[in-house]
Amino acid sequence: MGVNIRGRSFLTLLDYTPEEINYLLDLSAEFKRLKRAGVDHSYLKGKQIVLLFEKTSTRTRCAFEVAGRDLGMGVTFLDSKSSQMGNKESLADTAKVLGRMFDGIEYRGYKQSVVEDLAKYSGVPVWNGLTDDFHPTQMLADILTAKEEFGDIRGRKLTFFGDARNNVANSLMVVCAKLGMHYCACGPKENMPKAELVEKCREIAKTTGATITLTDSVEEGAKDADILYTDIWVSMGEDKALWEPRIKALKPYQVNKEVMAMAKPTAIFEHCLPSFHDRNTTIGEEMYEKYGLEAMEVTDDVFLGTQAREFDEAENRMHTIKAVMYATLK
């Protein structure tokens, strides 16, 4: 039976079956081929989308804007400072208004319940561009990148090092469970994902051949890993005061040459970006001055090394987001 997700929202990968996720990945690869060949694919001419950002973004915003325009759609960008949303107008009212004007809505912000309410009240597909809990469009790009490397990704081991309870790590655990991969969360006990989500993923894993492992041992995390993944230690929306305790707690989980050497020789490094791999950012320099760290979650040699694939992931954000919008709006 063919996969049909027209009219659906894309809020968390928990809502999608393995077949639907694989369909989106195949569609993404096809859009990548069309884009690279310069073939017109403005299949959604006449449609309009709006992008709501309550947190900052480079990749997600640009991916939605470029993908929307490539598909022939009109694209409107709103941030919380330049709209009434949340300040003078309730979310439900905003959603109802936007649903009357737009065919689809992207939202990046804080609570997962906001993106769920937008979908409930707008009546049009809503795409989660990152919340405190999940970052589902990122996962499609990460898995597409892994498939480009390995082909079949079933049975591959992906280890996330560091703040394994953040939005990106949560979504990686879900996608690995859905696609029959071995997911390992590697970090201190306090940074492990919520037990409820782990249980949900373990239930899914039983049906796909995936496994979910939580460990505080870097050796165990890196051993036999095919994909070593990390993300920044303090996420958007978290208190800046967390930098100091996080640096102390997560420094042992930095992905560096020694950690890469413990994994399979064919392993790749992935990162959703942005990244603190050198001192060329305001925060990177501040952390160097305060704590003497040249790099945080990943060292520069790994980030710039031959096993690193983060810029392929960044490009793949656009192709995968295009697939999600096309499949839900066509």
Write out the residues near ligand CP by the rule CB under 6 A: 57-60, 130, 138, 272-274
How many C-beta atoms surround the C-beta of residue 265 within 10 A? 7
Clarify whether 108 is annotated catalytic. yes
Subset of 72-131 contacting ligand NVA (CB under 6 A)? 130
Clarify whether 152 is annotated catalytic. no
> If you write DSSP's letter for every residue of 199-228 in order, what string do you get?
HHHHHHHHHHT-EEEEES-HHHHHTT-SEE
Clarify whether 279 is annotated catalytic. no
| Minimum distance from residue 94 beta carbon to ligand CP (Å) | 22
Give the C-alpha separation, 266 to 302, whole Å: 14
How many C-beta atoms surround the C-beta of residue 294 within 10 A? 13
Among the options 61, 135, 182, 271, which is catalytic?
135
| Minimum distance from residue 2 beta carbon to ligand CP (Å) | 30
Cα separation values, 165 from 33, 173, 190, Å: 35, 10, 9
How many C-beta atoms surround the C-beta of residue 188 within 10 A? 16
Clarify whether 224 is annotated catalytic. no
| Minimum distance from residue 184 beta carbon to ligand CP (Å) | 21
- Residue closer to ligand CP by CB (options 58, 90) is 58
Give the C-alpha separation, 254 to 203, whole Å: 30
- Please give the radius of gyration of the chain, using alpha carbons only, rounded to the nearest integer: 19
What x-and-dash track marks residues 234-273 binding ligand NVA by CB under 6 A? -xx-----------------------------------x-
- Residue closer to ligand NVA by CB (options 236, 262) is 236
Clarify whether 186 is annotated catalytic. no
Clarify whether 165 is annotated catalytic. no
The catalytic residue positions are 108, 135, 138, 231, 272, 317
For ligand NVA, the binding residues (CB under 6 A) are 130, 166-168, 231-232, 235-236, 272
